[in-house]
Chains A and B, each alone.
Chain A
């Protein structure tokens, strides 16, 4: 192998080829860098208002994926955050809000930790937020805890963050994997489901969803179908066959993103029509619905801490503003970003911009409460996790909104047990 390299090298070494080559490389690199600089930097959002600020900039480090499978979720969260910050003129507590974006990456868990280090040590951020993937949340937990960095997790659902890995500096504004599914078990039992098949991606979030629903489901779990995560072949036929063979009354599904899309497309023609479809709302969230079109399982009943159709003033305003600003339909991830931004603003206002006292800052975070598009927002002190209202929604084909989830009932005050 290497002697081939050397032969090739010698072949190219006629005269001054390589000095020119080296210069060409330099020029190309410079050109490409220039091109990319136009393509969009990851610099700060927040162009500031006209009024004066009384303190230094409040720097927020947002670690969210802009590449890889979760890039779309990261995009929604970022947009949700910027929507709220723009609404308050990018200022709170007399300080200008500056967001520094970093790419969480796609799989290498060491990267978000490195980014957290960079944000804390080099950029001196006052707060860290983001984290879509659960392994990454576990990875940065000790670092932010030991360095006393206020952290708001705006997606990663791993239960441990609210339990064994709880920290006084880490609050979660999104959900724990337990929350959306635990009340659904009872709902299914109350609605005539005797035999249930659990269908979930075989990794942390799926496993935690399954154990949550089993807490309140009183019927019989006839099958647990666990496609690998991610399902690289994209083929769900063997799993659909397994489901059909188990003859359940209904299936409870946990999947997201590409797996949900492929699964639903294939289930449309391969899932037994007599089986009712339920699940944790992620697999029929707006991002998935946008991609599957007619394959949407109309009538599916799912549980989630938000829906496009949640009927309150804040949500109506939020969804309209989001669509207008980004030409993208809002989804649950955007709401999480939106709420995270509001938590930051409310906290800063409460401490009047004075953030040197970390303990007081975290106390203010814990005390934040407001009306969010998802309902009343407040944290639970036992788990440092948001208390969610879990909406039971049904998938419909709405005349105006297209495929969406209509709220049919709700379970308020779902609080993670915290241990």
Chain B
């Protein structure tokens, strides 16, 4: 059986140790494993055809998502499902899916005109970010109307969320099927590649994390959670994260892919 990983070019160009180990385990079990970086080749769309039994979408670039979309139209088997990945790229849709399913997520608004956000500051500080995007790019914490004025006029809709007061560190949750692992780390735009501390998580957080997987139709996914005085809040969801700082991540991922390939687990996209 052939597994094909759609990966992203890394800077510096060293392969992800988690993936390298995962490939080794899968090859040891008889799988053929290939990978490619969409950005490195010129593609002819009429030649795109399915030549792997399962595609694993690891890259989050626009080009990779479009290619995944092309493979989806051809009936490719994709882990995570293409529809799930495509929907959760929008933070607005993700927010709706989570709240609708009763998952604790911050109050969110969407607008193209940030002056409309100002009256919301009377109640609480705000996090303002583009509706698409990940890894903390373009995220603004606003406490005063002046903070909002400093944000350049947006070209795309912005999502505005209540800034949930937390303990000053993010809880990164990494999920493989129903297994939930937590890593605690400081939030910063520049330190997304820094590993955090693997730590204990509560049953409540475990249940919330598993629920997010069901709601979004994801098997390999990550969450950002803020542990506030009011309880945990899910502030971000992403597909196939890096699993940095998770002990034996490669082994768990390989086992999950193996189970998926054998039809022991299935994933249902949201809508």
A associates with B:
no
